[in-house]
Amino acid sequence: MAKKTTSNPQAGAERARPILHQHSREIQPYGKIAKLPIALDENVCATSVENLNQVLADTITLRDLYKKHHWQVVGHTFYQLHLIFDKHYEEQDAFVDDIAERIQLLGGVSLAMAADVAETTIIPRPPRGREQAPVQISRLLEAHEILLKESRTMARQAAEAGDDGTNDLLVSDIIRTNELQVWFLSEHLVDVPLVKAGAPAKTKAASAD
C-alpha cells in the first residue's frame, strides 16, 4: 500500500500571503510640500497648508465637541438640542474631509490623528463630565468664534497670495456655515419665557402717572 503524503497547506500560496509588520521611512514628512502642477508657488502652497492644518485641527475639535454635547445634553430642550447638535456635527464632519483634501492637493500633509489634533487646536478642552445645556452652547459659540476669526484672517492671506481655491473654501464653506450655526445656537440663549409671556414694559408716560 502506497504511503500517504501529507501536503503542506501553505505550499503554492506564497504570492497570496499578506506581508505583515512592514515598516519604512515616511515618503513625505509633515510640513514638507510635494509640489503639484497647480500653478501656485511652493511658498504659497506651504503657507496655505500650514493655515489649513490649523483650521482642520479646530474644525475636528469643534465637530467632536458637538458630538459630546449631542450625547450628554439634558433639560426641557433636550430633543431640539439633541437634533441640532447632531446636524451641526454632520456639517462640520463634511468640512474635515474638504479641508484635508485641499491640504493634500496643495502638496501638503494633513493632520489626522487625535493626538496631533489635540496638540494643535486652540479651542479650549472641555471637562469630561456632563454640563448644563447653556454651558454647552456657550462653549460651542466660543469655539465657533475662534474658528471664524482665524478663517477670516487666513482667507485674506490666501486671496492676497492668489490661492483662490483656499480662499473659496474658507469663505464659501467654513465661514458662511459657521456663521449660520452661530445664529441657530445663539437663539437658544435668549432669556425669554417658555410658556407664559412676561408683563409688558411700562412706558415713561405710564410711569409718570
**Residue 29 DSSP SS3:** coil
pTM above 0.85, yes or no: yes
Q: For position 113, what pLDDT does the model report? A: 97
Q: For position 197, what pLDDT does the model report? A: 84
Q: Any idea which fold 45-190 has?
A: Ferritin (1.20.1260)
Q: For position 201, what pLDDT does the model report? A: 73
User: In a 10 Å sphere around its CB, with 0-12 CB exposed, 13-18 middle and 19+ buried, how is residue 81 labelled?
Assistant: buried
Q: Considering only residues 15 and 118, tell me which one the structure prediction assigns the higher pLDDT.
A: 118
Q: How many residues does the chain have?
A: 209
Tens of pLDDT, residue by residue over 81-137, are: 999 999 999 999 999 999 999 999 999 999 999 999 999 999 999 999 999 999 999
Q: Considering only residues 13 and 188, tell me which one the structure prediction assigns the higher pLDDT.
A: 188
**Per-domain boundaries in the chain:** 45-190
Tens of pLDDT, residue by residue over 144-192, are: 999 999 999 999 999 999 999 999 999 999 999 999 999 999 999 998 8
Q: Using the 8-state DSSP alphabet, how is residue 142 labeled?
A: H
Q: For position 48, what pLDDT does the model report? A: 98
Q: pLDDT grade, residue 16 (50/70/90)?
A: confident
- Distances in Å between the Cα of 54 and the Cα atoms of 104, 136, 140, 151, 202 are 14, 23, 18, 9, 51
Angstrom distance (rounded) from CA 127 to CA 147? 20
Q: pLDDT grade, residue 4 (50/70/90)?
A: low
Q: For position 200, what pLDDT does the model report? A: 79
